[in-house]
Structure 1
Amino acid sequence: MRSFSRRPTIVQKFVLIVILFGSLTSCSNPRDEFPMAEKITQEIEQHGDVRIDEYFWMNDRDDPRVVDWLEKQNRWTEKVMAPMQRLKSSLIEEMKSRIPAEDVSAPYRDGDYWYYHRYVKGGEYPIYCRKHKSLDAAEEVLLDVNALAGDEPYFAVRNFEVSPDHKLAAYAVDTQGRRFYTIYFLDLENGKLLPDRIENVTSNFEWANDSETIVYVRQDSESLRAYQVLMHRLGKSDDELIYQEDDETFYAWVEKSLSSKMLFLVSGSTLSTEVQFIPADTPAAEPQLFLKRGGEHEYYVADGGDRFFVLSNDNATNFRLFEVGYANTARDQWQELVPHRDNVLLENADVFRDYIVLSTLNQGVVQLEVIDRASGDTHLMNFDDQVFTAYTYGNVNFASKWLRYAYESMATPDSTYEYNMETRERRLIKEESAGPDFERRDYETIALQVPARDGALIPVSMVYRKGIKLDGSNPLLQYGYGSYGVTIDPAFDSDRITLLDRGFIFAIAHVRGSSKLGREWYYAGRQLQKKNTFNDFIDVSRYLIDKGYTSPQHLYAQGGSAGGLLMGAVVNMAPELYNGIAAGVPFVDVVTTMLDDSIPLTTGEYDEWGDPRIPEFYDYMLSYSPYDNVGRHAYPNMLVTTGLHDSQVQYWEPAKWVAKINDFRTNDKLLLLKTDMQAGHSGKTGRYQSLEDTALYYSFYLWLEDIRE
């Protein structure tokens, strides 16, 4: 990584595209044909409380009855969905038409080479390329992922990284979706793979400056917690353990500074971090501790070439920026550069030789602040839209005065710009295509402030095609996440045009549990305040109905992973508000999962949800856990998806949840479970393969709206 962020990599933003499958109103859905699951009573006792879980047996991945039932559910879903196959196919072709058959990324210069990736007609995956010194030079194809993937149903290449001397490349491959990678090494001068292989590790690694050594991270084979940092020298069989993180609530990862001088070894939990560093020129050196972890202190370090810069929440809820010399990094040596601001969340800092760029949220609005390191002068970069996002990326030259960043809004395609931090000149490098028929002036984006039941104001980002009427007749898709402090940016999605052009409104509810309004907004939606997340989402739904944007007959809700927990809670608390709900890879069996520290990622989640081994947390979590609170409700139409190889939310959570809802529901609305038997948490790979998931998901809403084309 070439910048540092306050967010641990284990909680990186991801907007789930895995949610799939549609439904229909004109098709019969008799409950007596729904594939019933066997019931086996399992008592789970904690704090003297006994819970009965009749579907606990589904936790055994090796039990043939589990796969048999999941496959029965898939066949049932396919049968119910058969009438909408024509619609689904047309949606796929429509969304394909917005993707350029041949496309090239914005190139960047690193040393004597221009690097980029491109797509070819019909190709699912990128082809990594470079040109020597000039973009007019002959192209060198470095790696064709299409050729590597072959007929694999799931194929993910991550972290394609060229060595500092530009002679080698390393990349990580996962063919199952469970995020166990094999790292390969490629000789760029002859195109052949080196014999070195590093198997069953994460995709997180960095090159040392000798171009012969990488530092990488291994995860536990059962819990999947990334906990070991190792060093591999090419041609050597014995890798050296550099650091092991023994605290089961912490994860380990590695970063390389933009200056290329330092390798950072980071240990992080939800609310605490600890950093060690190694000079990238001497990777065998003993790691040096920057500052010992303590309490809920989050800090992140960048190298400035002659000193360190530190992003820290020490006595600063929304973080502040410090500098400190190389010789002594003790806390009392830190000098404040940017103070804490109550309404401004300092999210990230990119440190260049002459400038620092701060990424902030000012009362929910993205700002990029440029600081001249010599003079201390600061200026803001100007943006035009009301609802947008901007973020730095792809910066590889420490000495550059040009900042590369991306800009997009809910009605403006993703665009890559370069900004001269000295002259303030701005130049467009590339704008992504949204298809030949797209005109941004046809769409409107707005920001709302919705009053919550306790008086808080909930930000909502919204986009729709111009000309809507506030008469309650509009179909509206409301999206939410609300966990880990992750903010869902109001970004562009060309696939979403498919809904907007058919009259849908799309709204993001920035509920508590996100950091949209700063870290206090996050703290107000975690642990013993988690119900604020659910209440906020429901309050936004009621507001949108009351103001005529939509009605319960036309309102849909979507969320995935922790956002799937949001869906599960909402559908128990206010099922009458929605015509349909889609929950992708949903975290719904909260108490049972958090009581089992053998389940992947559980121990690292205590800071977010609480530890149910403590009675206070147990009682609170039990009061909202979607699986434990399934009741005698008239549930709306529901689409639930999962992946058999999901490493983050195990397949059995949504499977058990659907089985239990079927037992308790009081109506015959659609209840569909789709399990991808090849994929994991993030769904299908490939730029076209993923469209099938998206088309099926959109079909769920369109068919319920009686939209057939």
Structure 2
Amino acid sequence: MPTTPPTVRQVPAERTFHGDTVTDEFSWLAEKENPETIAYLEAENDWTGKATAHLDGLQTTIFEEIKARTQETDLSVPQRKGSFWYYTRTVEGKQYGIQCRVAAAPDDVSPPATGDGAPLAGEEVLLDGNELAEGKNFFALGTFDVTPDGNRLAYSVDFDGDERFILKVKDLVTGETLADEVPDTFYGSAWSSDGSTLFYITVDDAWRPYRVWRHVVGQQAADDVIVFEEADERFWVGVELTRSEKFIVIDANSKVTSEVRVLAADDPAAEPALIRPRVQGVEYSIDHHGHRFLVLHNEDAEDFALAYTSVDNPGDWVELIPHTPGTRLESVDAFQRHIVVSLRRDGLTGLRVLADGSTDSYDMAFPEPLYSVGLAGNPEYDTNLVRISYTSMVTPDSVYDVDLITRAMELRKRKPVLGGYDPEQYEQYREWAIADDGTRVPISVVARKDVPRNGTAPLLLYGYGSYEISMDPYFSIARLSLLDRGMVYAIAHVRGGGEMGRRWYEDGKMLTKRNTFTDFIACARTLARSSWTSADKIVARGGSAGGLLMGAIANLAPDAFAGIVAQVPFVDPLTSILDPSLPLTVTEWEEWGNPLESADVYAYMKSYSPYENVVKQKYPAILAVTSLNDTRVLYHEPAKWVARLRATAPEGSYLLKTEMGAGHGGPSGRYDSWKEEAFVIAWTLDTVHLA
């Protein structure tokens, strides 16, 4: 193994805020166009490759395990929309999915059998990602949106990973890709009722989606009209067509406030009508349901309530489901005769069904102690069947159709796991840690039943803890390569996420953010005390805002972990949040606080920022993985962090791996993603001496 990592120039650069002067000796790494920066990142990749060369065989073995367990030629369960069944097909040896459809009989409610994943009879290929990606190092599909009549397709592509998409239109009758093309668009689109007009979104210089445009098919993009523009830099905009296909919805959302406008889908040139003006701190979303708009909101309802208002004259909100503390209502989906509410309670997801015109409701029941459930697509409005997705830490991804009248559930497909996977060999558990302030923090655990509970088993502990995003229990084929080697896998459901309701989120953001970090440490120490593992056998893993968590716990409790995997990690948050010109900064002030205006926020963020708090101490082994074209967490944050770790605590082992042609999600092709995951798993096993 080489003994000397790449060197990076230290060029002191000072900043002063609130009377505090800070020196940043590695700030020049933010100069992406600087050849020296690129050369340094490439040298780091070379160093990481040499330092992990002994793992090449193990990485290959794990990649082959993932590949062997995956049914590579496969077919998603077709979904009915209008006169067609739509589905995605994958083919062995090909990186990307193929979007397809087949004609549906008028009275056909059961999807075609998917069999062995071969093309269905009468298949029409709408879009082949492999053809689009040919000759490209990266490919991502943004919008995929078929007109209500099924005759046109709007789709967008990204070939760099920077989430700037080229929007195109395809005529599905002739198969021709039309001349209509719009560069630099964002996710999201909506068609008018007749398919003549397409609404789409563009971003500003700070990568904020802020404009909704109207494009008439056949006209030049230069003639497109701005339908809505959001001036407040805290807000992002979105656009979609309701399931009923009656309304175009334009929403503007900050982290804590919402505002919604609608226009009739059969009158695309109309001016959008406001549902209710924004009120700071009030969030709401809508769906169309007959004569009314359903409104999910948090006005005087911390965990949200459901109401409705008139379509013809939106005004007061009439209560439908009152606020119930501890039951977080997350979304509402309207069907012609039913309403389905997605919720969470006691740390688990759930679905509640309401029949139209009735006060009766019921919650769907599921047998396992830990699971995740949610609606899956459901483009049809006039239906009594809804499709749901279900998974747990031992049950592979499953698709059910639920009859909303009889409540019968029919399993349509369970993701195949090849090679003889037996769920009876594994068991999932719910553990609880006690945080520093006495709060009980849930932990989801899965392991083989034959793993000893005497502290000798290594454990991978995953965490996130931001934006009210929940890390719910899920199944992973790649994870089997850890479990079958005797490693335990756990998810720490720390504050800052949404697992236990809105208060759980509020208690892990702004000036309570440190709870996220101390909760995670409490989870690690609890798992060690309860004999699942021991401190010298725990590897922590997190990405993006979860990478911030990784950097913070490395500084706060290095003795609690043997290793840390930080993927696209937000490890220099104070520098980023102090710069309003950077992507996302202004919108993030309602999540982290505004250190430009508040000395208290500045001091608090500085107290936990991983980059600011690197000290001379013994750190766990650290693997940082990033992407050059990431627009959410810029590559230079982990690059600077690793450089400072080496400069301050040089006795540690710190690796930096940069994807030079990808974005926030890493490699785009499925085989490339498996190779990346195999590398991380191999490094993890090596760190706890299982390699």
- Report the TM-score, using the length of structure 1 for normalisation: 0.94
Q: Bigger CA drift: 446-455 or 385-394?
A: 446-455
Aligned residues of 1:29 and 1:670 also touching (Cα < 8 A): no
Instruction: Give how far 1:562 is off.
Output: 0.2
Given residue 252 of structure 2, which amino acid in structure 1 is its aligned partner? S
Q: Deviations over 1:468-492 (max 9, x none)?
A: 2221111100000000011011011
Q: Which residue of 2 aligns with 1:273?
A: 258
Q: How far, CA to CA, are the matches of 2:150 and 2:311 in structure 1?
A: 29
Q: How far, CA to CA, are the matches of 1:29 and 1:307 in structure 2?
A: 67
Q: How far, CA to CA, are the matches of 1:509 and 1:661 in structure 2?
A: 26
Q: How far, CA to CA, are the matches of 1:259 and 1:47 in structure 2?
A: 53
Q: Which residue of 2 aligns with 1:306?
A: 291
Instruction: Give how far 1:158 is off.
Output: 2.4
The 5 Å alignment of 1:243-392 reads 243-330=228-315, 333-392=316-375
Given residue 589 of structure 1, which amino acid in structure 2 is its aligned partner? D
Instruction: Give how far 1:542 is off.
Output: 0.7
The partner residue of 2:147 within 163, 180, 190 is 163
Instruction: Give how far 1:704 is off.
Output: 2.0
The 5 Å alignment of 1:105-184 reads 105-134=76-105, 135=112, 137-184=121-168
> Helix, strand or coil for the counterpart of 2:77?
coil
Q: How far, CA to CA, are the matches of 1:187 and 1:214 in structure 2?
A: 13
Q: Deviations over 1:394-426 (max 9, x none)?
A: 111111011111000010000110101101111
Q: Deviations over 1:299-335 (max 9, x none)?
A: 00110021111000000000000011123323xx211
2:392 corresponds to 1:409: yes
The partner residue of 2:414 within 401, 406, 431 is 431
Q: Which residue of 2 aligns with 1:446?
A: 429
> Helix, strand or coil for the counterpart of 2:536?
coil
Q: Which residue of 2 aligns with 1:663?
A: 647
The 5 Å alignment of 1:667-706 reads 667=651, 669-706=652-689
Q: Deviations over 1:218-247 (max 9, x none)?
A: 001x31011001011111111000010000
The partner residue of 1:647 within 631, 640, 649 is 631
Q: Deviations over 1:633-669 (max 9, x none)?
A: 10111000110000100011100000000011152x4
Q: Which residue of 2 aligns with 1:71?
A: 42
The 5 Å alignment of 1:472-511 reads 472-511=455-494
Aligned residues of 2:348 and 2:472 also touching (Cα < 8 A): no
> Helix, strand or coil for the counterpart of 2:183?
strand
Q: Deviations over 1:329-383 (max 9, x none)?
A: 23xx211010111111111111111111111111212221111111121111110
Instruction: Give how far 1:117 is off.
Output: 1.4
Q: How far, CA to CA, are the matches of 1:45 and 1:242 in structure 2?
A: 41
Q: How far, CA to CA, are the matches of 1:369 and 1:581 in structure 2?
A: 39
Q: Deviations over 1:412-441 (max 9, x none)?
A: 000110101101111111111122321111
The 5 Å alignment of 1:574-653 reads 574-613=557-596, 614-653=598-637
Given residue 61 of structure 1, which amino acid in structure 2 is its aligned partner? K
Q: Bigger CA drift: 184-193 or 171-180?
A: 184-193
Q: How far, CA to CA, are the matches of 1:586 and 1:555 in structure 2?
A: 19
Q: How far, CA to CA, are the matches of 2:650 and 2:531 in structure 1?
A: 29
Q: Which residue of 2 aligns with 1:200?
A: 184
Q: How far, CA to CA, are the matches of 1:35 and 1:687 in structure 2?
A: 31
Instruction: Give how far 1:133 is off.
Output: 1.9
Aligned residues of 2:148 and 2:245 also touching (Cα < 8 A): no
Q: Bigger CA drift: 394-403 or 561-570?
A: 394-403
The partner residue of 1:554 within 533, 537, 550 is 537
Aligned residues of 2:622 and 2:653 also touching (Cα < 8 A): yes
Q: How far, CA to CA, are the matches of 2:286 and 2:586 in structure 1?
A: 25
2:540 corresponds to 1:540: no
Aligned residues of 1:633 and 1:666 also touching (Cα < 8 A): no
Q: How far, CA to CA, are the matches of 1:397 and 1:86 in structure 2?
A: 48
Q: How far, CA to CA, are the matches of 2:124 and 2:238 in structure 1?
A: 31
Q: Which residue of 1 aligns with 2:108?
A: none
| Identity level (%) | 40
Aligned residues of 1:129 and 1:139 also touching (Cα < 8 A): yes
Instruction: Give how far 1:670 is off.
Output: 2.1
Q: Bigger CA drift: 487-496 or 172-181?
A: 487-496
Given residue 485 of structure 2, which amino acid in structure 1 is its aligned partner? R
Q: How far, CA to CA, are the matches of 1:354 and 1:541 in structure 2?
A: 47
- Report the TM-score, using the length of structure 2 for normalisation: 0.96
Instruction: Give how far 1:203 is off.
Output: 2.4
Q: How far, CA to CA, are the matches of 2:538 and 2:92 in structure 1?
A: 38
Contiguous gaps of at least 5 residues in structure 2: 106-111, 113-119
2:458 corresponds to 1:461: no
Given residue 582 of structure 2, which amino acid in structure 1 is its aligned partner? I
> Helix, strand or coil for the counterpart of 1:413?
coil
> Helix, strand or coil for the counterpart of 1:229?
strand
Given residue 552 of structure 2, which amino acid in structure 1 is its aligned partner? A
Q: How far, CA to CA, are the matches of 1:492 and 1:545 in structure 2?
A: 24
Instruction: Give how far 1:388 is off.
Output: 0.3
Aligned residues of 2:535 and 2:559 also touching (Cα < 8 A): yes
Q: How far, CA to CA, are the matches of 1:705 and 1:434 in structure 2?
A: 27
2:52 corresponds to 1:81: yes
> Helix, strand or coil for the counterpart of 1:394?
coil
Q: How far, CA to CA, are the matches of 2:93 and 2:191 in structure 1?
A: 33
> Helix, strand or coil for the counterpart of 1:587?
coil
Contiguous gaps of at least 5 residues in structure 1: 1-27
Q: How far, CA to CA, are the matches of 1:623 and 1:532 in structure 2?
A: 13
Give the aligned length: 675
2:10 corresponds to 1:39: yes
Q: Which residue of 2 aligns with 1:6?
A: none
Instruction: Give how far 1:706 is off.
Output: 2.8
Aligned residues of 1:261 and 1:305 also touching (Cα < 8 A): no
Q: Deviations over 1:550-591 (max 9, x none)?
A: 112210000000000000000000011111100001111111
RMSD over aligned Cα atoms: 1.1
Instruction: Give how far 1:142 is off.
Output: 1.6
Q: How far, CA to CA, are the matches of 1:620 and 1:704 in structure 2?
A: 33
Aligned residues of 2:55 and 2:683 also touching (Cα < 8 A): no
Aligned residues of 2:142 and 2:186 also touching (Cα < 8 A): no
Q: How far, CA to CA, are the matches of 1:535 and 1:159 in structure 2?
A: 39
Q: How far, CA to CA, are the matches of 1:604 and 1:154 in structure 2?
A: 28
Aligned residues of 2:2 and 2:50 also touching (Cα < 8 A): no
> Helix, strand or coil for the counterpart of 1:158?
strand
Instruction: Give how far 1:112 is off.
Output: 1.4
Q: How far, CA to CA, are the matches of 1:405 and 1:496 in structure 2?
A: 23
Instruction: Give how far 1:703 is off.
Output: 1.4
Given residue 160 of structure 1, which amino acid in structure 2 is its aligned partner? F
Given residue 154 of structure 1, which amino acid in structure 2 is its aligned partner? F
Q: Bigger CA drift: 599-608 or 364-373?
A: 364-373
Q: Which residue of 1 aligns with 2:116?
A: none
Q: Bigger CA drift: 140-149 or 645-654?
A: 140-149
Instruction: Give how far 1:29 is off.
Output: 5.5
